[in-house]
Structures are given as structure tokens and as C-alpha cells.
Amino acid sequence: MTWEECMETLGVNDWYGCKMGLQPTRNLLKKCGNPENKLRFIHIAGSNGKGSVAKSLQQILSLSGYKTGMYISPHIESMNERYTIDGEMISDEDLKRLCLKMRELSESLEEERPNSFEMLTALAFCYFLEKDVDYVVLEVGLGGRLDATNVIPHKELSIIAHIGLEHTAILGDTLEEIAREKGGIIAEDTPVVLMHQKPEVMEEIRRICKEKNAKLHITNPKYFHSYSFHIDNGYQYFSYRERHEYALSLLGDYQLDNAMVICDAIDCLKERGISIPEDCVKQGLMTVTWPGRFEILKKRPLIILDGAHNPQAVNSLVRSIEMLFPNYKKRIFFSVMADKDYMTMLELLKNNTLSFSFFQVESHRGQKPEVLKEQWQAHFDGEIRCPESLEEGLEWNLNAVKKEEEKTLLLCLGSLYQVGQIRNFFRNYYSSH
């Protein structure tokens, strides 16, 4: 089911520009019979990495014998991706039926009505209760404290991944303010796993945990060691605390940071009496897949797709490329939302880059390629292109990379909203060539 079909069925399209708050979601959930009260949640917030952590935890819990739901946003190719149970997406029939139910119940409200994201969140709780899942891995949409997902009364665990400066108009201008918003998912007397990061973030989360009597576990890089990677093997190897030589299928140095979060989260769940065999942890980390996150679409020529959409994510991506593919030159296909700090992102990318191709995200928030070119050309001596179509731009870059005598890769990035189209292009291209 497409976004447009889903919004039409819901009868709304107001994700942007809506005010934050929990009451509209609570109003709708009351009409639904409060399904959130009957589910067990693992709640995840963060600027980067929360999707990878969520998917990995779902994989491990499913392998451990638990029926595990996962609710995430945004999706890559279809709305169904947002709702999965043991990795299987919701059917079109169930999604349409529940969208109609949310619309009907929302229209019957006398109180403030929910927006589209709030309706999609309530839909998730109804679906997972219908399917009688054991656990729900729940990803925050935006922020945490006032996010629609934060209506849940009981949590097995709260997880906070990497926090960076993002959505500053909504969440605040400093890391402390943003950490305060994301730390809003921390519940009374409930354990918290926090990724080791900047001191001001950790200090703010410590303060909230103390306030709520929540036991805090911070990942400890001192006990972490990573091993080799080879493109033909496709795994990164690491040891952390008592776990030795584990293989991780998700690539990039930031995924190693996420792996520490996952391992500490598993240990917290075990402390709460949840049985998770160690071979399921090992197998889960080795088999998990997550589209658009340092995804190698093709090895020869080397094509990498990543949804990095802020300077922190781009910085990690560049470090990962330098670590895994040293001395490679880059051709970059870039699309980005206008409200992102794209000049910093481009500055981080320009070293060893032969060309930039700018293309507009299919969203009213997408920055125009001509604006990107005009602002960037004073900072870059190489070729800058604004292709007329996504297909033309990708094909030109692909042909250019194929002809390079030196080691050159094609890197596509800038927005998760473009990942689906790019994956689809290469899938079709290589099936017909």
C-alpha cells in the first residue's frame, strides 16, 4: 500500500506542521479500547540508529521464540513496512481495514482529533493486539516526550541511540534540550540503555533516570573490539563484554556502535526474566538486514546506498567508507530535505569526490537541485550535475563509475525518502542488463 493510498483511506494528510502532544492519540486509543494497555513494549528513541537497533532486536526476539511486532517510520517502498511481525509485513487487506477503522473512530471523536501519524500509531497497537504478539519493538517518530508512541503505560525497556542536532525548531537548539525531549520516553522504575556519546547528552539522561528511579546502562567502548571486514564475506566481526567474535551483517562503523546497544539491551531483557539463548543473539546479528543503511547494492562496480540525512550520520558514513574501502574515489548522487544542514553534509562528503549529482526528493520539503548547485559550486571544483530525472542521473553515474580506471564507488544518500526509488532503479536495471 502506498503512502498516498493510506492517507486517502485515513482521510488525512497532515504529518507536517502539526503540533506535538499526546492527548489526541489517547482520545483515539480510548475509542479503540486501549490496546496499548495489553501489550509489552521495547521503546527506542534517537537521532540515528534506532531503526537498525529495532530491526536487530526484533530478529533476535523472533529467533528466541517470541512473536515480535515492530512499528517503525518512515518506510522505504511501501507503508506495509511500518508494521511487521517476525519480519513479515502487514497485508494490504489488514492495513486498509484498520485505516478505515481509524478514520471512522477519529471522525466520531468530539475531542481534538489525531493527525495522520497519531492514527498510524494507534493502528499499530490495534494490529499487534489482534495478532496476539508477545512483544512490540516500538520506534519513536520524532523526539520522544510528546511523540505519539509515548502514550504506552508499561515498558520492558527504554533505549536511546545516538542523539544529534535535528528538528531544532521543534526539539530545541542544543544537545541538552534534544536529549531532554528524547529522554522523555524514560519510564518510572524501568531500565534504560543509552549509547555512549557526548557528555552533555549522557549527563541529561543520567539526570532523568535519577529523577525516575530508572536503572541506566551506558554502552562501554572500553570492552569493545572490532575485527576485519571483507566485501566478499559481507560481515563485520566484533567482541563486546562476554561476547566474542560475533559476526554482524549490518555494515559501517556506526553499526558497531549500535551492536553495543543491542547487546546491552539483550542483557537488560534477560535480567527481567526474558529467556534469550545466546545462539539466537549470534544468529540474529549475523542474519539481520536493513535496507538503505550502508547497503551494498552491487559489489562490482561498488554501489552503496545509505539514508544518512544529517551531518552526524554522514560523518559516520564517510568514516565507514574510509575504513572499509580506503583510497576509493567517489561519485555522489545526493538528495536532501530543505530543512537539513546540507552544506555541512556536503562538506563532509567532498574529500576524494569526483562529482556530485543533485536530485530532488519527492516531497514538498525536498531542496531543489538548482539551489544545491548554486550554493555548493563555490565550495567544490569538480563536476556538479542536476539531471532531469532520477533514472538519467543514476545511469550517468553508473556508466561513469564503470569507466573509471582507479577504484571508484557510487554513493547514493541524503534522505530515507529517496531510498525506495533508488533501490527500485537498480533492481530493474540489473534484471534487464
What is the full per-residue pLDDT of the chain (433 aa) written as tens digits?
A: 999 999 999 998 765 446 789 999 999 999 999 999 999 999 999 999 999 999 999 999 999 999 999 999 989 999 999 999 999 999 999 999 999 999 999 999 998 889 999 999 999 999 999 999 999 999 999 999 999 999 999 999 999 999 998 888 899 999 999 999 999 999 999 999 999 999 999 999 999 999 999 999 999 999 999 887 766 678 999 999 989 889 999 998 899 999 999 999 999 999 999 999 999 999 999 999 999 999 999 999 999 999 998 999 999 999 999 988 999 999 999 999 998 999 999 999 999 999 999 999 877 789 999 999 999 999 999 999 999 999 999 999 999 999 987 799 999 998 888 899 999 999 999 888 7
Q: Which of 432, 427, 429, 430 has its CA nearest to residue 77?
A: 427
Distance CA 347, CA 66 (A): 45
- State residue 231's pLDDT score: 63
Fold of domain 3-287: UDP-N-acetylmuramoyl-L-alanine:D-glutamate ligase (3.40.1190)
As beta bridge partners, residue 412 has 305, 333
**CATH 3.90.190.20 occupies which residues in the chain?**
295-431
Q: CA-CA distance, 262 to 56, in Å (whole number)? A: 7
Burial (CB count within 10 angstroms: exposed 0-12, middle 13-18, buried 19+), residue 405:
exposed
Question: How much is the pTM?
Answer: 0.92
Q: What is the pLDDT of residue 416?
A: 83
Torsion on CA atoms 179, 185, 191, 193, rounded to nearest 10: -40
In terms of CATH architecture, what is 295-431?
Alpha-Beta Complex (3.90)
pLDDT of residue 232: 65
Q: Distance (Å, rounded) from C-alpha 220 to C-alpha 211?
A: 23
Q: How high is the pLDDT of residue 365?
A: 83
Residue in this structure with the C-alpha cell 541529561, named with its chain if needed: 204
CA dist list (Å): 24 to 21, 27, 32, 117, 183: 7, 5, 13, 11, 21
pLDDT of residue 162: 96
pLDDT at residue 16 in the model: 46
* SS3 at position 63: helix
Residue 106 CA to residue 95 CA, distance in Å, equals 16
**What's the pLDDT at 343?**
97
Q: Identify the helix (H) or strand (E) that includes residue 138.
A: strand 135-139
Task: List every span in the chain annotated with CATH 3.40.1190.10.
Answer: 3-287
